[in-house]
Amino acid sequence: MPAHDLVVIGAGPGGYVAALRAAQLGLSVGLVEREEALGGTCLRVGCIPSKALLESSERFAEARGGLGAHGVRLDGVALDLPAMMKRKDEVVRALTRGVASLMKKNRVVVYRGTGRLDGPGRVVVEGPAPVSLQATRVLVATGSRSATLPGVTPDGDRIGTSTEALSYPEVPRRLAVIGAGAIGLELGSVWRRLGAEVTVLEALDRILPGLDAEIAAEAQKAFQKEGLRFALGARVKAAGVEGDSCVVELEGAEPLRADRVLVAVGRVPVTDGLGLASVGIAVDARGRIPVAAGFETAGKGVYAIGDVIGGAMLAHKAEEEGIACVERMATGHGHVAYDVIPNVVYTSPGVAGVGKTEEALRQSGVVYRKGVFPFLASGRARALGDTRGMVKVLADAATDRVLGVHILGPRAEDLVAEAAAAMAFGASSEDIARVCHAHPTLAEALREAALAVDGRAIHL
């Protein structure tokens, strides 16, 4: 029976990164993965392929109508969807091969099949080459799957999840998106740019729940100008296929007809079939594995990270938890700064935030000051031709410590990193304001927003 210091079940961002870090720290590591390609949902059918399509679709939209102001005239622009999908698949293939190469480089043994616990210190791998593994420690990192709605059953074709929406064989004339979170808005944006009529249905009275409300409201206005239609407060009763159309039944409203339906109502942990009971682990009502400090579960020597333990279901959160978990195993030390984990939506304009929102600060009674700087006043944004959005900095009124930064605008996903780094080290708005930022850059907008906290923005 092969034996390892650590067996990781699940090769998504949390699992494979944990395996690599554990190997770096000198542990003997086995990694169990049921899919042919490593990388999990994020790399195979999530973060990476969606970003590839977002990039390609934005290039297409620019070629059709966004380059004239730059003095670029293009005639006969046409969509080659198979080529776009081929590029997306090549991006995924290159990265999954890269992960496999890293496993070999770091001497992580990969076991193909479905892993489950079979009592303390034992993992059974069921697949093409069944094997039982002896493990001093086991790390569960099996991630999550798309959630469903009562009355809406994905058929893997006309009514599907994000997985199907990444590979539609043709541009649907009408696409109904159920859910106005990051996944729904990103994939809705892709197909809108490629020519679909997209209607986003959201049960709440706003889009992007959990993000700063002011930023979300401004984002909705921008998305509407891009052609997305929104039906807020829309409660879906059922969805099905009737002839050539999909029909979405709504409470108190006329049914919505579409050619395809994308169900994007969140994700649920993958914790079934793992043999958790064999080591004394019981999941909570939402299927999550309870963990204590250090990501330890109720099962001796069994740990869990990522989407299976709750909190934000983000690839980078899972990575941080994986690293912290194995570092604690090997060194006794490991930490995740949960207060400064960025949240990003890769739309156009982009949305990003880190730290507390205004709503959270008000609800907790924190007195804060606010600085806002619009990209309309940014020289770099003007040169790019995209002045939509703003940067907002929230700072404690007494100490000036930055409590939250929220961005709507070009390359928001990259700009938020500076804010996260500053906040991780307890920076004040004055600290950010005193740092010289290169000119002209979009990052200057963060500095200007920090200056605006004290009412002294230069270019506003």
Cα 303 from Cα 141, distance rounded (Å): 9
DSSP conformation letters of 353-414: EEE--HHHHHHTT--EEEEEEEGGG-HHHHHHT----EEEEEEETTT-BEEEEEEEETTHHH
Phi, psi of 84 (to 5 degrees): -65, -45
Residues 6+ apart with CB under 8 A from 253: 231, 234
Query: Which of 89, 97, 100, 9 has the alpha carbon at shortest distance from 48?
Result: 89
Q: Return all residues near 254 (Cβ < 8 A) that are at least 6 apart.
A: none
Picking from 273, 269, 303, the residue whose alpha carbon sits closest to that of residue 287 is 269
Q: Catalytic: 439? A: yes
Cα–Cα nearest to 267, from 85, 10, 42: 42
CA atoms within 13 A on the CB side of 1: 11
Active-site residue (options: 4, 70, 437, 439):
439
- What is the largest distance, in Å, between two alpha-carbon atoms of the chain? 68
Taking CA atoms, 99 is separated from 17, 38, 52, 201, in Å, by: 9, 7, 18, 37
- Phi then psi dihedrals of residue 401, to 5 deg: -65, 135
With contact defined as beta carbons under 8 Å apart, do 13 and 315 qualify? Answer: yes
- At residue 262, the 3 state secondary structure works out as strand
What is the set of active-site residues? Answer: 439
